[in-house]
Structure 1
């Protein structure tokens, strides 16, 4: 009876297939849950007559949700990783479809974007943890690259979907609905790679799990053990990552808005420029992975940080389409590589606590992303000039580079 029920959705064990499911997972949780907002933001602002300040707050609320999602993920026991991931993905899809509702009050927009951010944080951390554990050592590097390409794939999909439906005369409500519907098969695919319990495990009803209080005590102990002897290295890398999150988010939030406002002679310039970000994000990760094998992850990360800083200054240095397109190309080339390099570096500081350290880094990144849009809209003023925000972002990335140089000198760092 049980085996017949399980056979309705066959278990998938092929590692390559699981990597592609992981790509789909990140495309939904990150590409739609976070970055579809960027693609549709010019249309949302027009249809709802939103100011740049309100748009910035909606972005920051989503990023604060990402912080909460990362925090939640740090407390999820290993045995509950899959269940928590499924809850996060379902929440991501529900909050995507929820934006279809007409005439929603602004307060509800804030709540939905907050929940979407929480779902993205869970999907990113627990999704990566759950997917990558299926890969053997020999294939882990290559298949992990496929998995992380989901972020760029999701960005590209958000741009193409928005472009297609806008040209057909639809607006953001229909775009979010189609995105939500196209995400539904992921639930079935994740169910197909669910962990299978042995009969002995299923029949063992005497296992006692720790209480919430004990879980918190265990977490504090693990945090202390993870940090001891590595505090300076972890702090340097975490603050550097916070500045990286602050650095890239101005472009990742407002680039289509900038392009739409400045390149008025180009139809759908904002979506074209966002598609460029997605395409280069998809293609770049294997490139940086190969480079890291040759020169090391820390040197690669430092190079990416310099390159991204140059990208932030480009629209200010070249006050034309060239500056915006250069920013888009460099943003796509760098940000996924910076994420994967930083997470690999921080987990290698103390591998016994890799999940905890990755969670701490993600929290720092989320703080930077929350602050970024608020500073950007404050500096933009009534003329919506984002160049000042981009300059501050570039300066933040240069400070991040200094911290990476200091991190490199630490004996704990993996060079």
Structure 2
């Protein structure tokens, strides 16, 4: 027994920087692969499976429905079960990634897999952030949180590099997805190594009980009331702005490689190179915005990022050719991860005791915006597959979101 506990202690990782890197790897897997590898491989998927833009839009949106459901699930996860549920849904994310290599699957099977993948992304995004960030000391939390959220950019870059490499070798999306899944497997061991260490490992927590669905609902209502007491307006304003942020960025985040393939016909793999640009700037952005937030605060930083993203959405409309598309890619990478981390930090800070619940609530709104976005874009694109109208509507949505953030800032000042 003593030897078992010694080996357990030896296998547990407690270094804060190492934990942040594991968090980075987790986001790279569940977000970079689970969600955004679809964007990188979408042009090849459309060609190999002869998919229309409309079906591609629905495949994207079904994943965001899953993300919505995943955020909802995460809201019901008690703090004491965070690690266990994170392990479970990370496994689901990896399995659904590898399943897309199965040949000749029906379209309905694709929908189911992308739905499950979205659920896994939503749960794991929130729970990994909650689990990892709470392990940081106050003095290092800002820097290490930025490192953790950089995983989204790392995952996007990895998805672009992996897709570009395997396509040039003559492979297609099936091998790409399988390779992504295999490269994700070490994450499971690393997550096991940062599991919480209960004081009495042989006993269940005292508050553990098998609650009925009705009791779970009652507990959730009570928690929601306690979490929002005195903060309802702030939560509503921030959640609504986050919904519009999800709606705003998703046109580029889903269809940018397709737009590049349409407009830059003389440039081989233009879509993947542009997607790589998104990932590189997403990796670089969080330390930059984290440092700025330390000086001027998360709310002002979020407002600045929103203004910048509006500009990015308009660039492909105003500027023809590669300049507009690469400009959009750079700004998209610079802004969207920062907007996620700033919003979730602000939401968590409203009532830290209910961080899972509040971050889940915000992510529900974000996922709803992401679900609506591709459908609106596809509807506006018409038979010509022109995405300019979708980009314009996305920019308008972001402007409205900016106004809501301004009112959130005023409301926060009033509470203080």
1:184-203 aligned at under 5 Å gives the runs 184-198=185-199, 200-203=200-203
Structure 1 ranges of 4+ moved more than 3 A: 1-6, 203-208, 411-415
Answer yes or no: is the 8 Å Cα contact 1:28–1:183 preserved in 2.
yes
Give the structure-2-normalised TM-score.
0.96
Q: Deviations over 1:263-299 (max 9, x none)?
A: 0111100000000000000001110111111111111
Task: Give the Cα separation in 1 of the matches to 2:180 and 2:410.
Answer: 45
Deviation at residue 179 of structure 1 after TM alignment: 0.3
- Contact (CA 8 Å) 1:345, 1:413: kept in 2 or not? no
Cα distance change, pair 208–76 in 1 and its aligned pair in 2 (3 A): closer
Determine the structure 2 residue equivalent to 1:287.
288
CA distance in 2, matches of 1:205, 1:60: 39
Partner of 1:393: 394
Structure 2 unpaired stretches of 5+:
none
Contact 1:281-1:336 within 8 A present in 2 as well: yes
Q: Deviations over 1:361-384 (max 9, x none)?
A: 110000000000000000111111
Aligned residue in 1 for 2:404: 403
1:263-412 alignment, distance < 5 Å: 263-411=264-412
- Distance (Å, rounded) in 2 between the aligned partners of 1:34 and 1:351: 28
- How far 1:194 moved relative to its partner? 1.4
Deviation at 1:414, TM superposition (A): 8.7
Paired with 1:350 and 1:277, the residues of 2 have a C-alpha distance of: 33
1:4 CA displacement: 3.7
Query: 1:412–1:351: structure 2 CA closer, same or farther, 3 Å change rule?
Result: farther
TM-score under structure 1 length normalisation = 0.96
Does structure 1 retain, via aligned residues, the 8 Å contact 2:130–2:355?
no
Distance in 2 (alpha carbons) for counterparts of 1:356 and 1:412: 23
Question: Is the Cα contact below 8 Å between 1:19 and 1:147 reproduced in 2?
Answer: yes
After TM superposition, list the pairs within 5 Å mapping 1:18-97 onto structure 2.
18-97=19-98
Distance 1:409 1:183, change over 3 A: same
Q: Distance in 1 between matches of 2:205 and 2:21?
A: 35
Deviation sequence 1:103-147 (CA, Å, 0-9, x none): 000000000000000000111000111111221112111111111
Per-residue deviation at 1:232? 1.6
Offset of residue 190 of structure 1 = 0.8
Deviations 1:302-327 (A, max 9, x none): 11101101100110001211110110
- Contact 2:74 2:357 (C-alpha < 8 Å) held by counterparts: no
How many corresponding residue pairs?
A: 414
Give 1:146's aligned residue.
147
